Amino acid sequence: PEKKVFDLTFKRTTLAPDGFTRSLITINGQYPGPVLEAKKGDRIVINVRNEIGEPTAIHSHGMFQRGTPWFDGVTGQSQCLIPNNYTFTYDFTVPDQAGTYWYHSHAFTQYVDGAVGGLIIYDPDDPYLNEYDEEIIVVLSDYHHTESEILLKKFLSPESEVPDNGLINGKNSFNCKKAPKGSKCVDNAGLAKFEFVPNKRYRLRIINTSAFSAFFFSIDKHEMEVIEVEGTYTKRNKIHRLPINVAQRYSVIVTANQPVDNYIMRSEFQKDCLPDGGKKLSIVKAIVHYEGAPENSAPINVPWKDFLEQCIDLRHETLRPLSEERPPKATKELELTIAFHNDSSGVVKAFLNGSSYVPDLTFPTLSRVFAGEANHFPRDRNVHVFNTPGEVVDITFINTDEGDHPFHLHGHQFWVLGFGNGTHVDKKSLNTVDPIKRDTSTIPASGWIVLRFVPDNPGVFGIHCHMIC
Ligand code: C2O
């Protein structure tokens, strides 16, 4: 194992990823931030220099933080905010995990303003190591021309918000006619370009860093084989389109086996979940350029439906872990109901079992545990206490909201035992034999999900909807 040191400076600057100039949080001058790369077993040291102009904290999404829960990066929960003009060092090892992850600010709504980057943990024992020649990292995102603070207000009001655009690896073009008068905007900012060498096999690591948006990801004329979900190897799964929700990650193998040419990589908004049906949004595109193909010719434009009888989307039901591991029996059950309603001051908020978690910025929850408060959290704080070893927990979410909610569990993965519509959990339909294990899963609109996890990682860890913060 090695010690990998990363120096990251978070700073607000103006940038125009899609041609429209706005203020963004950059990391070492970049958006998205640099990809952090390490391998299983390494020690990762991240020196976060905060020059944003406001306090921050950085979370490594999907890292278990075994033995270092204080480096989970959640404000008011695992640490105090890092003040402006201070440096804070995260220092943790990754003894038992490898796969596709990301890091992002976990303070306020800063990640939506750009404070995101990929985090890849390579696996020397990767069972698929001989099945691909190169790796490509694909960071998807919805993109907003408005500051996230304003978005958050809209998100919590009946108005709702539709993104202005979407990006692949921080690039896309935008039609400036749609920009408000007086804004700085240039057309044809350009698309991301990926180089394919004929017959090479690529492992694409796809990360959705969006604030709100789920996408369908595909490459024209190319099949993909899913092999990894958030640190879990899967059985080979041939598909054409990959649905990917906020904060989720997948690895797929794509072979450059088509005629030498330019092809379109697509990230389509899953529009039905956007308030106005996302009418003004077009497909987010990038170029796959085969070595030897003309550099500047338009890529052939062939949606799946034009040359395939049927397009196979990834379905949860067909996702199977590569090594079958039967989850242990649950010893505890927790039911959480998601509902949106007005709080006492008339602001619409999301509630779990009638309460909203309030980060304690002056006395983080983890510090309270160290101070001996673990067993008397106020009931309305929504803190649940589990004991290790021995406990296995089934969390059933009942979503009374009309929107999907991508939920993420910190410090652990969970098995997705099953989900469905309505409020009645169909226990007989649960898969307790070979369910997939991941860290971010969609709770269907007006529906339910059952997640099982083993609380074997002492600390304070959040479970939350990943939309906008
Ligand atoms: Cu991406 Cu609380 O996490």
Domain 3-122, CATH: 2.60.40.420
Residue 353 contacts residue 337 (beta carbons within 8 Å) = yes
Q: Find residue 91's DSSP bridge partners.
A: 45
Residue 405 CA to ligand 1 centre (angstroms): 13
Q: Do domains 3-122 and 136-318 have the same CATH topology?
A: yes
Nearest CA to ligand 1 atom 1: 61
* Per-residue pLDDT, 304: 59
Residue bearing the CA closest to ligand 1, atom 3: 61
Gap from CA of 431 to ligand 1 centroid (Å): 26
If pLDDT is split at 50, 70 and 90, which confidence band does 386 have? very high
Each residue's pLDDT tens digit, 290-304: 999 998 777 877 665
End-to-end, the C-alpha distance of the chain in Å comes to 33
Q: Which residues contact 282 (CB under 8 A, 6 or more apart)?
A: none
Q: How far is the CA of 357 from the centre of ligand 1 (A)?
A: 14
What's the Rg (C-alpha) of the chain?
Answer: 22
- What is the distance in A from the centroid of ligand 1 to the CA of 76? 14
- The Cα-based distances of 298 to 18, 198, 264, 293 in angstroms read 19, 19, 9, 11
Domain 136-318 is in which class?
Answer: mainly beta
Block residue for tokens 């029996």: 329
Average of pLDDT values for 255-274? Answer: 90
C-alpha torsion sign, points 106, 111, 116, 121: positive
pLDDT at 432: 97
Classify domain 332-465 at the CATH superfamily level.
Cupredoxins -  blue copper proteins (2.60.40.420)
Distances (CA, A) of 435 to 145, 199, 210, 320, 451: 39, 33, 26, 7, 10
ipTM of model: 0.99
CA gap 189, 170 in Å, rounded: 11
Q: Where are the domains of the chain?
A: 3-122, 136-318, 332-465
Q: What is the DSSP letter of 259?
A: P
Atom of ligand 1 nearest to the CA of 440: 1
CA distances to 222, 352, 358, 401, 403 from 341, rounded to whole Å, are: 44, 11, 16, 10, 14
Query: Which residue would you say has higher pLDDT here, 357 or 287?
Result: 287
Instruction: Measure 408 CA to ligand 1 centroid, in angstroms.
Output: 6
Which residues sit with their C-beta closer than 6 Å to ligand 1? Answer: 59, 61, 104, 106, 247, 408, 410, 462, 464, 466
> Over the stretch 311-361, which tens digit does the pLDDT of each residue have?
899 999 999 999 988 999 999 999 999 998 887 777 778 889 988 777 888
